[in-house]
């Protein structure tokens, strides 16, 4: 049976553009009708087009990707999908931006398989480490900004001028918090937060 060349494209959100990946796959060339595309997060593998592609993939077929991170978002996912495609499906993989991961030529003997698997593990590890470093830098940046007094989230609602007087009535048990909030045109939670100085 003649092998088929498939392509897979994933963009993380509906806003991201898939043009770069599509151009690379067409130039390979992969026929347009054999390109599967998901426009959603790579957080998990509940991706309809990816699942459809996996059902079609047969031994000897070729799967072309622009980059290895299209297979998953972390080290374990990428390695697991690589194993399914190459070992279970017995299909070949071509990663366009990493010629060492073209197993059509390198993956047929033991050395080629070893080299491809080794390169993949290194790349997956590097990608995962970079993501973790980025997350760490973001957390450190947020913590530093908070120390400088930068506030995150929605801007605080301005406190009405009548608040001190209404709060005093509430403290003297002349009104309950629900009435105080209604008088000020705010929620009961907001009133209680302000009243307790938060």
pLDDT tens digits for range 2-30 = 899 999 999 876 556 788 999 999 999 99
Structure confidence by residue, pLDDT tens digits, 149-183: 887 766 777 888 888 999 999 999 889 999 999 98
Catalytic site residue 3? no
Show which of 88, 111, 131 is a domain's final residue.
Answer: 131
Higher pLDDT among residues 153 and 136, named by residue:
136
Assess whether 40 and 117 both reside in one domain. yes
**Cα 134 to chain centroid, rounded:** 13
> Residue 43: which domain range?
5-131
Assess whether 15 and 56 both reside in one domain. yes
Q: Which residues of 150-181 are buried (b: 16+ CB within 10 A; e: fewer)?
A: eeeeeeeeeeeeebeebbeebeeeeeeeeebb
Q: What is the mean pLDDT of residues 122-140?
A: 82
Judge whether 104 and 94 are in contact, CB under 8 Å: yes
The answer to whether position 141 is within a domain reads no
19 token code pair = 């043009």
Supply angle C-alpha 110, 112, 118, rounded to 5.
100
Distance CA 52, CA 64 (A): 15
- What's the whole-model pTM score? 0.60
The answer to whether position 147 is within a domain reads no
Structure confidence by residue, pLDDT tens digits, 59-108: 999 999 998 888 887 788 888 898 899 889 999 999 998 887 787 765 55
Instruction: Write down the catalytic residue from 3, 12, 41, 187.
Output: 12
């Amino acid at each position: 049976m003649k092998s088929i060349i498939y392509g897979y494209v994933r963009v993380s959100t509906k806003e991201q553009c898939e043009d770069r990946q599509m151009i690379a796959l067409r130039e390979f060339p992969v026929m347009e009708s054999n390109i599967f595309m998901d426009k959603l997060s790579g957080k998990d593998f509940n991706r309809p087009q990816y699942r459809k592609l996996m059902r079609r993939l047969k031994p000897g077929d070729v799967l072309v990707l622009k980059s290895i991170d299209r297979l998953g978002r972390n080290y374990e996912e990428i390695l697991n999908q690589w194993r399914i495609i190459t070992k279970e499906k017995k299909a070949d993989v071509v990663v366009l931006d990493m010629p060492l991961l073209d197993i059509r030529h390198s993956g047929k003997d033991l050395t080629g398989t070893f080299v491809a698997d080794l390169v993949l593990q290194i790349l997956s590890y590097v990608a995962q480490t970079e993501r973790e470093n980025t997350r760490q830098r973001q957390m450190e940046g947020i913590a530093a900004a908070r120390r400088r007094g930068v506030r995150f989230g929605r801007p605080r609602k301005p406190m009405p001028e009548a608040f001190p007087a209404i709060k005093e009535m509430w403290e003297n048990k002349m009104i309950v918090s629900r009435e105080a909030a209604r008088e000020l045109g705010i929620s009961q939670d907001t009133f209680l937060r302000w009243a307790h100085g938060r």
